[in-house]
Structure 1
Amino acid sequence: MGDAPRPGVAELLDGLAVVTLPLNVRFRGVTEREVALIRGPRGWGEFAPFVEYGPAEASRWLAAAIEAAWSGWPDPVRDTVPVNATVPAVPAREVPAVLARYDGCDTVKVKVAEPGQDEQDDVDRVAAVRDVIGPEGRVRVDANGGWSIAQAGDALARLRRYDLEYAEQPCAAVGDLARLRVALARAGVEVPVAADESIRKAEDPLEVARLGAADLVVVKVAPLGGVDAALRIVAETGLPAVVSSAIDSSIGLRAGVALAAALPSLEHACGLGTGAMLAADVTDEPLRPHDGRLPVREVTADPGLLEAHAAAPDRVTWWRERITAARAQLPG
């Protein structure tokens, strides 16, 4: 684990499959997810950085795919992983239909601070979630850094009536997260703050802990360069961790499950139920929540599904060039 030599470009491209997977609901402005899958001696790895990421940032996603396909992961300390449902920035009336896709999930992450929407849209959506899951369920919100300190303070003061588990990345800058935590405490708004982008997109992910900018951290395998790298970061921050995903196929989700299963402590449901957002997958046994949990098991891509959802030839060329550029950023 972690000590296998990294494959070169030719070896990576030799085991490449690129697929386009439709979504059940619009998310982050897209209705389909395009991913590259790489096959190695240990199985499949997923390389799917968003299109706006350059080679340097994308190289961490490639390192994670190589780890999955060539090196493998640490032994798990649990057999299943609790997961949350995810509600995109949909109108409140659509919330019940979205949650119906998640079997047994009693924790829900709600997207807020969507461009083009206002605070009342967020309140209505969170209220609808609380109505569906009842008083015993857990509700968390994710602003993706979309609020200023003042906006976050106002919004969370209104949303706290729905008993929020935490607010994920309410402000973009690490310093603003730290200042927001102080402002919330002074205002008596008891909503914990979680850092996501401030961990996975930061040159120094440990700055969050040094500045006291978060109560917990949200970690994703691919942006951090793999399971081993993510485990080190969580250990060094000393904060509780939630493992999350980014509209991955079941191949990508398997890496997230490996991280969540290897964490010494797992206090919160993880954002790894996003397979329920896909209308199609690359395996006939997709990783979907059952009774609010995902099993720790292997996932293999099905050749027939890879063919059925194969991306157009020009897109395959684009991904081949992207892998080549990302590989050049990696040592070895």
Structure 2
Amino acid sequence: MNTPLPSLDEILLDAAVVTLPMRVKFRGILEREALIFRGPTGWGEFSPFPEYDDAESAAWLRGGLEAAWRGFPEPVRHRIPINATVPAVGPASVAAILERFGGATAVKVKVAERGQSVEDDVARVAEVRRLLPDAAVRVDANGGWDRDLAVDALTRLAEFTLEYAEQPVPDIAGLRMVREELRRRGVPVLIAADESVRKETDPLLVAREDAADLIIVKAAPLGGVRRAVDIVAQAGLPAVVSSALDTSVGIRAGVALAAALPELPYACGLGTVSLMDGDVTNTPLMPDGGYLLVRDVQVSDDLLARYAAPVDRTRWWMERLTRVHAMLAGQ
């Protein structure tokens, strides 16, 4: 941060931990936990997934503190195109999920779910394409395939005219190999890097290795809006802004990132509040007509109370915040 790190007491002065129910299982969870806090410039969110260690979580705290203690850059656009997100559900559930995304004309479909097959993925993508024949469809494997399976699966899925495939394999060398093999076969599927940007110590390595056609950027895992904007500029690749299954407070940071980028060639994955059955605001950041407006979020005390995390989970998050804040203070 370019501003002084606030003290732990300042952060805790107006902080709360919430547990929000999901409408469908997403990323293997049915509840999403988040710690939110208020600072001089608004609300910030600290919600790294529980399995992330303190070192990885530090960037998430930087991002939340930027929002609450510094604010966001001036926007260059005032509405953001949004993609719908379809979890790893059966075809019969796809229509109901798409209805919640307010007329989005781009759809991200989760694939490579543990315990499922490529046939399941094909059926899900086929249903999306049947329902939305003109939509821009992209798939996200979250690194769930090995190299050979990724090539075979994407060759099959290419018949549905994919916009791109996000993180088909877990490593950068694998991304480069899959990208090259698809090109060799004449399969017109672009490769996007997500985890290979936000989980690498060097988020620019994937660009230097020529392993992707575009990058996925998320404000919280990259340490805030300004750092993410800088990474996009240095990478020199088209960027898609996405979320990490945030509350509307965290989505606000993603919207600020999408609004600050000089170019925004793809619809953004910032509509995931639509997958939740609760939020911290009475006016959630949910897409309408395929867009999110750039606006601030007013947090509701009543909703903080309704979705307050159990005592043991609140304690866990406060202890985690304490450790990660000490780590930032020592850097």
Q: What is the TM-score when the length of structure 2 is the normalising length?
A: 0.98
How far off its partner does 1:331 sit? 3.8
Q: Deviations over 1:225-280 (max 9, x none)?
A: 00011011100100000000011110000000000000000000000000100111
Partner SS for 1:221: coil
Match of 1:199 among 197, 200, 210: 197
Match of 1:143 among 141, 144, 148: 141
Q: Match for residue 324 of structure 1?
A: 322
Counterparts of 1:65-76 in structure 2, within 5 Å, are 65-76=64-75
Match of 1:162 among 153, 160, 163: 160
Q: Match for residue 120 of structure 1?
A: 119
Q: Match for residue 94 of structure 2?
A: 95
Task: Please give the alpha-carbon distance, in whole angstroms, between the structure 2 residues aligned to 1:90 and 1:52.
Answer: 24
Task: Please give the alpha-carbon distance, in whole angstroms, between the structure 1 residues aligned to 2:27 and 2:147.
Answer: 23
How many aligned residue pairs are there? 330
How far off its partner does 1:107 sit? 0.4
Task: Please give the alpha-carbon distance, in whole angstroms, between the structure 2 residues aligned to 1:162 and 1:281.
Answer: 34
Structure 1, unaligned stretches of length 5 or more?
Answer: none
Counterparts of 1:18-57 in structure 2, within 5 Å, are 18-57=17-56
Task: Please give the alpha-carbon distance, in whole angstroms, between the structure 1 residues aligned to 2:209 and 2:37.
Answer: 38
Task: Please give the alpha-carbon distance, in whole angstroms, between the structure 2 residues aligned to 1:278 and 1:119.
Answer: 27
Task: Please give the alpha-carbon distance, in whole angstroms, between the structure 2 residues aligned to 1:148 and 1:318.
Answer: 35
Q: Match for residue 228 of structure 2?
A: 230
The residue identity in structure 2 corresponding to 1:132 is L
Q: Deviations over 1:90-111 (max 9, x none)?
A: 0111111111111110100000
Task: Please give the alpha-carbon distance, in whole angstroms, between the structure 1 residues aligned to 2:102 and 2:38.
Answer: 30
Q: Match for residue 254 of structure 2?
A: 256
Q: Match for residue 130 of structure 1?
A: 129
Task: Please give the alpha-carbon distance, in whole angstroms, between the structure 1 residues aligned to 2:327 and 2:231.
Answer: 21
Counterparts of 1:307-322 in structure 2, within 5 Å, are 307-322=305-320
Q: Match for residue 221 of structure 1?
A: 219
Say which is worse superposed, 238-247 or 3-12, in terms of deviation.
3-12
Partner SS for 1:86: strand
Task: Please give the alpha-carbon distance, in whole angstroms, between the structure 2 residues aligned to 1:14 and 1:27.
Answer: 32
The residue identity in structure 1 corresponding to 2:225 is V
Task: Please give the alpha-carbon distance, in whole angstroms, between the structure 1 residues aligned to 2:329 and 2:136.
Answer: 42
Structure 1 runs of 4+ with >2 Å offset: none
Task: Please give the alpha-carbon distance, in whole angstroms, between the structure 1 residues aligned to 2:34 and 2:64.
Answer: 11
The residue identity in structure 2 corresponding to 1:68 is A
The residue identity in structure 2 corresponding to 1:294 is L
Q: Match for residue 105 of structure 1?
A: 104
Counterparts of 1:3-14 in structure 2, within 5 Å, are 3-14=2-13
How far off its partner does 1:4 sit? 2.3
Q: Match for residue 303 of structure 2?
A: 305
Percent of residue pairs bearing the same amino acid type: 56
Partner SS for 2:34: strand
Match of 1:188 among 166, 186, 189: 186
Task: Please give the alpha-carbon distance, in whole angstroms, between the structure 2 residues aligned to 1:120 and 1:129.
Answer: 14
The residue identity in structure 2 corresponding to 1:216 is L
Q: Deviations over 1:44-69 (max 9, x none)?
A: 00000000111111111000010000
Partner SS for 1:81: strand
Task: Please give the alpha-carbon distance, in whole angstroms, between the structure 2 residues aligned to 1:23 and 1:49.
Answer: 17
The residue identity in structure 2 corresponding to 1:21 is L
